[in-house]
Amino acid sequence: MENLSRVKVALREGRQTFGLWQMIPGANVSRCLARAGADWVCVDCEHGNMDDAAMHDAVPAIVAAGVSPLVRIAGMESWMVKRALDCGAHGIVVPLIRSAEEARALVQAAKFPPWGRRGFGSPYSPASFGISSTEYLQQANHSLLTIVQIETKEALETVDEIAAVEGIDALFIGPVDLGNNIGFPILGGVVMPELKDAIARIFAATRRARKKCGIFAVSGEQAKIFAGQGFDMISVAADFPVLEMAMQSQMGVARSGVSRETPGLYRFPSGTPGMR
Ligand code: 3PY
Ligand code: MG
Residue 189's pLDDT is what? Answer: 87
Residue 214 to residue 15: CA distance in whole angstroms = 13
Pick the residue whose CA is nearest to atom 4 on ligand 1: 174
Residue 273's pLDDT is what? Answer: 39
175 CB near ligand 1 (under 6 Å): yes
Q: Which ligand 1 atom minimizes the distance to the CA of 176? A: 2
Residue 256's pLDDT is what? Answer: 84
Q: Which ligand is nearest to the CA of 175?
A: 1
Cβ–Cβ under 8 Å, residues 115 and 140: no
- Strand 233-238, strand 145-150: pairing: unpaired
The Cβ of residue 121 has, within 10 Å, a number of other Cβ atoms equal to 8
Cβ–Cβ under 8 Å, residues 67 and 30: no
Q: Longest C-alpha distance within the chain, in Å?
A: 64
Residue 268's pLDDT is what? Answer: 58
Residue 240's pLDDT is what? Answer: 97
The stretches in the chain having pLDDT less than 50 are 270-276
Degrees to nearest 5, angle at CA 66 with 62 and 71: 35
Residue 272's pLDDT is what? Answer: 47
Pick the residue whose CA is nearest to atom 7 on ligand 1: 174
